[in-house]
Structure formats: C-alpha cells, structure tokens
Structure 1
Amino acid sequence: MLHARVNIADVRFGNDGGYDSSSSGGSSPASSHSGPSESDGSSSTADEFCSDLREFRRHGSNSSSSSSSVSDSLRPVSDSFACVLDDIDKHQKRMLLLLPAFSSSAGAGARADALSRWLVGFDVGWVLDMDASGWAGESLPRREVGRRVRAWAQALSTMERVFRLRHRELTAAQVTALGELAAATASAMLKLASTVAALGSSPSKLLAVLDMYVPVSEAFPVLGRLFSWGPSHAVSVATEATLTDLVDAARRCGYDLRAFIRSHYPWRMPQGGEVHPCVGFWMGYFRCMLRNRISLCFVLGSEDDAGDPDASPLSPGAEGGLSLVTELILCLEDVLEEKSAALAFPGLRQVFMLNNTFAIVRRAMRSDLKLFLPPEWVRVREERMKGYMMGYVDASWAPVVSRLDGGGTKPSAVLRRRINRLSTFYSALENACVAQRRWKVPNPVLRGVLRKIVSENVVPAYRRYLEDHPEVEVAAGRTAEELEQQLSELFEG
C-alpha cells in the first residue's frame, strides 16, 4: 500500500480557488455575489437551484380536467409589480376614488368591481381567480408559484402602509368604508396563503410557506388593530386558520425533505467523478431556507415542541429550525456516499466524493450557511477529504507502483525479468493515465493538490527503481521528469 502523504493544509484552500470565506462577508443568501465561482462545479447564486429544479419531478397531478379559471390564473406575473408598488401616494388617491363602492348603500356588484380594480393596481388581481380546493390537485409551475408569492408579499406590505397612513385623514363614513375595503382585501389576499398550504408537499412549497408566514402573522394583526376587528371577526378567524395551515404544511414539508433528497432528484451519476448537479441545487435551496430564518425558527422550531420528536422535524435542544439545515446537509452527504458505489472504476468513487465534499464546504463557507453550522463542521469535512485523497491513491496508484516490485513476488536477478517488470509498470501507468485524464476535478486548486499527491507517491518510487537498477535501459519519454509531466495532465475531463 502506498503511503499517501496528504497535508490537511493542502485541503484547506484560500481565496484563490478554495472555500476560505474571510473576504466574502455575511451576505444575504439571495445575493448573487456571495456564491462560489463555477470552478467547483456549481453555480454562483443562492437561487441557482431554480434552474436545476426543472429536472425535479413535478409535484401534484397533471390532471387534464384543469378549469379555464385555473389556467388563466397561472399566466405569468408581470415583472413590473416592483415599480407599481412604490408609489404610495398614487395608491392612496386611487383608494379614495374606490371607497364609495364600499359604503353601506353600494351593491355587491359595485364592490366586486372596485375590489378587482384595487387589487389589479397592485398587480395581484389574480388572487380573485384562485380557489384552494381547485388548485390543490393541480401541477403548478414552480417558478410561477415563487413569483406570485413574492408579488403577493410586496403588495400586502404596501397595502398595509396605504391603509395605515391614510386612516386618520378620513371622515367617519370613509373610515367605515375603508374597513370594508380592508376586510375584502384581506380575505382575497388570504386565498394565496390557503392555496399554497393546500398544495402537495414539495421543496418549492416549503420555501413558499416560509415566505408567507411572517407577512400573514404581521400584516393581518396590524389591520385587525387598525380597524378594531375582534377575534371573532371573519378576517381574524381566517388569519388564525391560515397560520395554522401554513405551520402544518411547513412541518410536513420539513419531514419530507429527507425523502426528497434521496429520491426526487434524477440520480444519474456523472461518469467523470465531477460534482453532481444535486449539490448546487440543494446547497442553494438550503441558503434560500435561511433567507426566511425567522419563519424557519418559528414555524419549524417551536420551543413548545422541542421535546416532542413527533411534533417537529428538529433535534431536541437544537437552535430551532436552523438545525434542520445541518441535518439536511448531512443527509445529502450520506446520499452522495451511497450513490458513489455505482462508480466501480478504482479510485473514481473517492474522486467523486472529494469533488462533492469540497463543493459542499465551499458553498457553505461562502454563504450565510456558515453562521449556522457547528464549529467543528469544516474540520470534520477536511479530515474526510484527506481520507478520500488517501483512498484514491491507494485504489488507483498503489497497484501501479506495485508492478515495480513484481506485485509482491520474489525479486529476480535476471535482467529480462526486470525489463518485463518495468514493461508491466508502464502498461499499468498508461491505463491509469488514459482513464484518469477523462476524470474531472473542476476546481483548479483541488486539481493541483490531487496531481501533486499522485506525483509524490508515484514518481519517487519510479526514480528509486531506476537508481537501484542502472543496468535497465530507460526508453525514450520514460524519464522520471517526463513521467511527472504525464501525471500533470490528469483530471482534465
């Protein structure tokens, strides 16, 4: 067995291509500049999981009986909603024009038309077309759900400001009408939250629920206090029911995430040992979970349920919902280890695990994930990477170098036997090099470290053999230096 000399300092890379995050700061998980470069085989933004998710199994059924109203309501949301929401004064003026429709003398038709116009002004008129019972069985476009939740949250925040800022400037009759408008608005806006809670369990559903929990728990009570809605008011009752549904839905998704990691990604193994696409997807997904860390703590980490393993997907005594991220990363690593068994070529399994472990650590250390991982988390994975390197050298190169000593047979004094032994070594070396040139180590620093380790374990053994057997004539292109150059071409893919 070769002695694979692996210094852990070779594994702990700096800012020139490794995962050192000293200069990256504590940026938001959603920021595009805080992610790793593509040299580790994964994309650079926290939300890149959205592009990988097109390979994800679609959740929900593909029912052919979708109603036209559902199809219409799935039309893409305009990207202009962010611009529309900024003009508070415009919304307030529009609100004053619509208030007469909510007076006691106005008819239901006038109210419905005014409410529609009011919501369309915030680019969320589509909430009126939603019906939770009808949508729950549909296969919803994942990205459209995300866009609608973001539009909904921003519109709700702006509506709450419009109602609050203008409330004191109105007459008593207008205040009453405004309360009716607010109640109708709240009921309509709650439809999306109820719909999302009713969808089938999926990774995208959990993110949507986390995005909605805080807005519902904050904005609707503010409106209740503003318009003196008591606990028995229809909006108050609906809000409490919706919050309960969101919590239940989030916890179900939290439990299911481990199953999603194991089975809901196409586990086609890369034959070059490179980073599996699921690493970029799931690490980006975990960062997006932390984008909603308040919801994550309150929804998935209730202190009341901390001691009941059946009530929360978290380990007792952990830091609320944030510990779920650590557990899910461990689950991802376990699945990668299991799936790597499909790579039967000697050493390829270790290269695959080295690439993927490095990519996981790199993405974690260059994002907010690092703030919520245990102190020893990086050290454990550095030791693991060291083990993968040693295992790779033992599996791929120990058999090659063993040809120089006859593979364990007694040394022969006959020159012909020595020449045959050297020929066998060259043949094994060529076979290993031809195969491993096609293997991929995407990160250039990691690739350099692995090449160095191979060279340090093969070249000295070859040089010693030539020194011990000066009578053996070395063929052209077979010097120790040329062999070292040949090994420097490994892992180019």
Structure 2
Amino acid sequence: MATADCKSVMPELEGEENLIAAAKHIARALGSNKNLTDDTRRILADLGAQLSSISTFSEGKGEKMSEIENRLNEIQEKVMSWEADQSMIWDSGPDEVSEYLNAADDARKLTERLESLSLNRDDEEYELLGRAHDVLQTVMARLEEEFRYILVQNRQPFEPQHMSFRSSEEDMLDESSINSFGDDSVEDSVHRDSLSRASEEFIIDLVQPDVIPELRRIANLMINSKYDRECTQAYTSIRKDALDECIFILEMEKLSIEDVLRMEWVTLNSKIKGWIRAMKIFIRVYLASERWLSDQIFGDHERFNLVCFHESSKTSILQLLNFVDAMSIGPHKPEKLFRILDMYEVLADLLSDIDALYLGQAGSSITMECHDVLRRLGDCVRATFFEFENAIASNHSTNPVTSGGIHPLTRYVMNYIRTLTDYSETLNLLLKDHGDGNHFSISPDVSPRKENDNESGGFSSRVSPMARHFVSVASILECNLDFKSKLYKEAGLQHLFLMNNIHYMAEKVKGSELRLIFGDEWIRKRNWKFQQHAMNYERATWSSILSLFKDEGIQNPGSNSISKVLLKERFRSFYLAFEEIYKTQTSWVIPDLQLREDLRISTSLKVIQAYRTFVGRHASHISDRHIKYSADDMENYLLDLFEGYPKSLQNTCRR
C-alpha cells in the first residue's frame, strides 16, 4: 500500500535538473494529502531529504571541482619544476625538503579526495583523477629516488675490529691441540674458556641519526599513498647490499656445502673460528642494529617494518647458517667434535636473539631454519662422539709401544674427555636418552666389561648421560689396552704396560674435573688394578730369581750339607739372571716418578732382602771372591730400572 501511495505523489522525473522540483513536489504531497499512511509519510520524508542533499551537492559541485582543478594545477606546476632540476632535493636544504614533502602530501590528499567521489569514466571530472594519479606517481618516483639516495649517502661504516669482543683464539680450543689418535700434542695443551655473552646485544648507528626522521617521513608518505611496495623494495635492496658488505668485512666468504666438504681440516678449523666470531657480531650487533634501524623508519607500520628487516637480512643469515649445515653433513671425525660443539653452543646461545629479531609469519622461515640447523648440528655432535667411541674400539696396533710406556691412545682419550667436560651441559642435553655406549658394534676383544652395579645399571641410573658415556669410553679404552698388552712377548712388560696406562687414567681423573664425573669408587678400582699389575709384574719378573735363594737343590747327594760347587753355580745363575733383567728392564719405562719409585722400593724389599739373607746364610760356604755384587750394589742397580735407557752389568763390578 505504501508503494502505491508513493507512486501517486511522485512525478515521472528524469535528469539532474528535476531533483529540486521532485523534492518540492514531495513536500507539498506530505502537507496536502490526508490519505497517506504513516509508513508512506516516513518513506517520502526520507526520500525528500536525500533528494535535497543531492540537489545541494549538484549546486556546489561545479564550484568544488573548479577548486580541485586549480589546486591540482598548482601542485603539478611545482612538481614539474622540481623534476626539471636534476639535483637531489635533499641537498637543497631543509626548507626545500619541507616544501616538497608538503606538496607530495597535498597530491596524496587531492587524489584521495577525487577517489572518494567515485567518478565514472563518462564523467567530465574523471580526467582530473587521471591527472592527479600521474602527479602522485611522479612525486612517489622522486621520493623513492631520494629515499635511496639518503640511505646510501648517510650509511655509517661498519668496523667490527673496534667491537669489544674477545678474539676467538681466547674463546676456543687451540687448533693444534686435538688432531688425531696417536698425537701426543693433546697432552696438557687443551684448554677452553667458557663461551659467554662477553658482548651483550648493543646498537650501533648504521645510518646517520639526523636523517632518520626524514627517512621515516618519506616512508610514511609513500606507504599512506599506497606506494608501499616501491618504498619497501628500495629499502630492502639498499640494506641487503649493506648486509652483504658486513658479511664480507667479517671475512665470511660464500661457501657451498661442496666447498666445505672438500676443505682441509686446518683451513676448515680456521673458518669455524671465524664463523663463531662473525656470528656473534652479526646477530648481536649488526642485525640488532639493523632491526633498530628498520623500527625507526617503519615503526608506524609494523607489517612493513618486519617485512623490510626480514627480506633485507634473509640472504646473509642463511649464508651463515649454510656453513653450519655443511659442517653437520661432513664426515664425523673425532678431531672435529670440539669445534662442532663450539658452533652448537654459539648457535644455541644466539637462538633467543634470532627468535626475538624474526617475529611473525614473515620471519618464521628464518627461525625454523635456525632451529632445524641447530637440531642437525646436535645430531652431528652425537654422531661424532659415537664415532670417537668407535675409533677407540677399532684402534688396533700391530707394534707395541716402546718400553711399555703410556700409549698415545691413552693420552689422547683421557685428555679428549677431560676437555669435553667444558661442554658438560651441552653433552648432557645431546646424549640424553642415547644409551651408554651400546649403540655401536665392536670386537669382543675390546668390548667394555661390566664389573659391578656401580659401573653398570646402578651407576647409569644415578649419573648424568655424559658420565655414563665417559665411563663407557674409559672401559672401551681399558679393553683395548688389555688387547694391546698382548703384543709384548714378556709377561712382565705386559703388566708394566697396563700398570702405566691404568695409573695414568686414574691420575687424569683424580686430578681434574673428571673426578666429579667418574667418582672416587672408579678411582679406587683403577688404583687397585694398577697395583695388581705391579704385583703381577714382580711375580712374572722376580719369582724365578727368588726361587734361586731356596736351599733345595744345593745339598750334597746323600746329606744335608751344602755343596760348595752347587752353591757357586746357584750364585752364578742368579747373577746371570739379574744381569739379564738389568739389561732388559733398564730400557723399560715408568713415566710417573712416584710410581717408578714405589715399584723400585717394592722390588728392592723383596729381592735385596732375600739376597742378603741367602748370602748371610751361606757366607761360611763360599768365599768373597764368588760374591759378585753386594746387597748395597744390587740395591743401587735396581735404581737404574725403568728409566728407558738400556744398560749392561756384564763384566762390570761397582763394589
């Protein structure tokens, strides 16, 4: 009904010129027609108000478009005059800069005003919108050029040599300290300062501070003008070049995985130390400063801020991560473990910094890659440590160590694990839930033997993952040493070799941080072991000689009287045996002074006392000229044993 009522009061009108007449007609109908319903009256009232508004716009439209056109002409004239001048606006002084930015902002506002009119292509005013867009595009192109110019001309030099970082040589293990099995250079030369945040994150000015407000104003103007892509691409390309230069200054050349895998260890070792220093400076100083710069310029537009930082730095940080990835892929040689651990700890330490820098979806690819690289590096640490265990087990020798001294493998292994204690926190994390040495296959001859609950299940259940693996390593080493001892023909030298090496192991543990890992019970067992080998040495060497001091076999046939002939033969046999032992065992060696002295004293107490007693008991049956050496002489001769310098007593008498 309301629709019908409306039609009865609305004339058939076409064209803009009839809007005012239509509005007046509706007003008269509302006043004179008493038959209209309330709904109809309300609809007609609304329609009349709208028609009045449109008519008012139409009356003033011509006047407004004229104003817009005049303003556009002014702006265009200014812009073209600047375009005709080839010099950079930002070199013309602050007044010129301010005037240009105001003109650019006016062009933006004028364009937005025209766009709000929703003009059609058929409208006469549509041409103004096209001109406004052309002027705005010219302005934005010039601003992009100026933006690049300011960024480049005001870039600050990056001088990492003036950073307050300790050198990597102070932080890291000396490159010559761990090379390969059998290298004695490992002895007492390995040391490592704990990695620390010696240089906490701090900001440097990558661009002259006084131009930051201008850069921010340009960025805001371009983004507000919907030229965000041009602005961010300009910024990204300039800062990417600066980041590439930073990587170059830090001496981190771009290396492929193949380049790294082909590299000699000495060269690679140096590259790793350089990477460690570069990574700390790059993340905590340069990238932190880069993020700060991006914040200062794009801080009003968070999305573009993050995108600019991420896109400009992505290539550089991925280059640094690519080197780590190559290291994790390479052969798992034991000498690389310390450097790989250094890299792991540095990257793990920097991970929170990286996560804080690369926020949001835009940075997720970087943070994910960092976490993945760290995981792969952790896998490499485990694989390299397990290869270290395998290398101990498979280190078979065909020739024994000269003189029964400390085997190079023993020195290497004990100093190796002693140095690994510096990485205890990392190793406990990475070796957790990875067994206690049962993950590899070794020969039964060098398989670790479980001695009791303290070193098997009971021990493993109470100590750290690293401790379990270290005890397993020591057990593998002992088994290998036992196998190597069989290379000696003399039983006495076999026991001397084992005594030396097990004593060395015990002393290394007792005198270092390893004591807390192995425990006093382990040390007591090794002390007991090397003492047992010392006793076995004495039995193997001196038992047959001491048996010569028995009276059996030197009596006259048919009586208990001593036969002087047999007695003289007994002395002669003893002296020949003693001289042979002297000649042989002066070439044997006991490197530890205290252990050497203890074994000499123990041997002297047994041999010299037995000799002195035998001589005293038969002094009446033999003349002094048949006593080749006095007890004191022999005691002195025993002091020559285990020095590693062969001597001979034949045809000599030091009475």
TM-score interval (norm. to shorter): 0.7 to 0.9
Q: Extract unaligned runs of 5+ from structure 2.
A: 1-168, 185-194, 216-230, 300-304, 441-455, 557-561, 645-655
How many matched pairs?
411
Cα shift readout 1:386-433 (whole Å, capped 9, x = no counterpart): 101100100111112222337x64644211000000100000000001
Question: In the alignment, which residue of structure 2 is the partner of 1:416?
Answer: 565
Q: Contact 2:325/2:373 (CA < 8 Å) preserved in 1?
A: yes
Question: What residue number does 1:486 align with?
Answer: 637
Aligned-pair CA distance for 1:31: 10
Alignment-derived partner of residue 172 in structure 1: 297
1 CA distance for matches of 2:175 and 2:503?
A: 20
Q: What's 2:357 paired with?
A: 226
TM-score by length of 2: 0.56
Amino acid at match of 2:401: P
Show structure 1 runs of 5+ residues with no match.
1-29, 33-44, 57-81
C-alpha spacing 1:185/1:371, structure 2 compared with 1 (3 Å): farther
- 1:40 is matched with which residue? none
Report the AA paired with residue 416 of structure 1: V
1:229/1:236 contact within 8 Å kept: no
Give the fraction of aligned pairs with identical amino acids, expressed as a percent. Answer: 19
Q: Does 1:250 align with 2:381?
A: yes
Q: Which residue of 2 aligns with 1:386?
A: 531
Deviations 1:273-306 (A, max 9, x none): 111112221112112222212220111114xx67
The 1:284–1:142 alpha-carbon spacing in structure 2 relative to 1, beyond 3 Å, is farther
User: What residue in structure 1 maps to residue 87 of structure 2?
Assistant: none
Letter in 1 for 2:585: Q
SS of aligned partner of 1:183: helix
Question: Residue deviations 1:350-380, cap 9 Å, x none?
Answer: 1111111122122222222222113301100
* Structure-2 residue corresponding to 1:436: 585
Contact 1:46 1:287 in 2 (8 A): no
Q: Check 1:266–1:156 CA distance in 2 against 1; reply closer, same or farther (3 A cut).
A: farther
Q: Tell me the CA shift for residue 267 of structure 1.
A: 6.4
**Structure of greater relative contact order (alpha carbons < 8 Å, 6+ residues apart):** 1
Instruction: Give the Cα separation in 2 of the matches to 1:135 and 1:340.
Output: 40
Equivalent in 176, 201, 204 of residue 92 of structure 1: 204
Q: Alpha-carbon deviations, 1:107-141, whole Å to 9, x = none?
A: 86x67753342123333x13x12x225544x3x43
Counterpart of 1:145 in structure 2 is 268
Structure 1-normalised TM-score? 0.73
Structure 2 match to 1:118: 246
Aligned counterpart in structure 2 of residue 474 of structure 1, from 612, 619, 624? 624
1:147 aligned partner, one-letter code: S
Equivalence map 1:51-70=2 (5 Å): none
In the alignment, does 2:250 pair up with 1:105? no
Distance 1:215 1:266, change over 3 A: farther
Q: CA deviation at 1:440?
A: 1.0
**185-194 vs 413-422, which deviates more?**
185-194
1:310 Cα deviation (Å)? 6.1
Q: Answer whether contact 1:48 1:284 (CA < 8 A) is retained.
A: no
Alignment of 1:207-218 (within 5 A): 207-218=338-349
Give the letter for the 1:340 counterpart: S
C-alpha distance in 2 between matches for 1:384 and 1:308: 22
**Which stretch shifts more, 112-121 or 417-426?**
112-121
Inter-partner Cα distance in structure 1 for 2:543 and 2:436: 51
Deviation, 1:93, is 4.3
Give me the whole-angstrom Cα distance separating, in 2, the residues matched to 1:462 and 1:473: 16
Structure 2 letter corresponding to 1:189: L
Deviation at 1:338, TM superposition (A): 1.0
Mark the CA change 1:155 to 1:247 in structure 2 (over 3 Å): closer, same or farther.
Answer: same
SS class of match (2:402):
coil
Tell me the residue number matched to 1:132: 257
> What is the identity, as a one-letter code, of the residue corresponding to 1:172?
I
Whole-Å separation in 1 of the counterparts to 2:564 and 2:268: 75
> Distance between the aligned counterparts of 2:311 and 2:604, measured in 1?
77
* Structure exhibiting the larger radius of gyration computed from Cα positions: 2
Alignment of 1:336-375 (within 5 A): 336-375=481-520
